[in-house]
Amino acid sequence: MPIEDENEIASILKKSKTIAVVGASPKPWRDSGSIGQYLIHKGYEVFPVNPKYEEVLGKKCYPDLKSVPKEIDIVDIFRNPDEVEQIIDEAIAVKAKTVWMQLGVVNEKASSKAEKAGLQVVMDHCIAVEHSRLIK
């Protein structure tokens, strides 16, 4: 089961340092950009991931998770639910600690796969909303 407990979510956010934003976009109307910017402002090291772009948020954009040059604490997913399973496979391969599926991103099969591989899973929650609500 994905994590719903506020204390567990707060713990993930407090101990994490690096976040890969999968589906990062330079388009200002996209949530991935504003939320990525929020996370940077809050002190996280953010790695945009999207094979379509060279740069997002003023940072090098990586084509996939295995190209990210650091250990990833949270894989923050801004993709359609039917595309999540492939991202989960990558997250498992790079030994990410947590996968975070944004609001509206629900994929039970992918969630179960991540949990069986030992990853923490937060699903259908906005990381920025949870951070602003739980981290003071």
If one counts the domains in the chain, the total is: 1
**pLDDT tens, residue by residue, 63-90:** 999 999 999 999 999 999 999 999 999 9
In a domain, 27, yes or no: yes
Write the pLDDT tens digit of every residue in 109-121. Answer: 999 999 999 999 9
Q: In which domain, by residue range, is 63 found?
A: 6-134
Q: What are phi and psi of 47, to 5 degrees?
A: -120, 105
Q: Give the predicted TM-score (pTM) of the model.
A: 0.97
Q: How far apart are CA 118 and CA 120, in angstroms?
A: 7
Residue 114 lies in a domain: yes
CATH number of the CATH domain containing 111: 3.40.50.720
Q: Distance of alpha carbon 46 from its chain centroid, rounded?
A: 10
Residue 100 lies in a domain: yes
Provide the pLDDT for residue 49.
98
CA-CA distance, 105 to 77, in Å (whole number)? 8
Cβ atoms of 22 and 79 within 8 Å: the answer is yes
Confirm whether 1 is domain-assigned: no
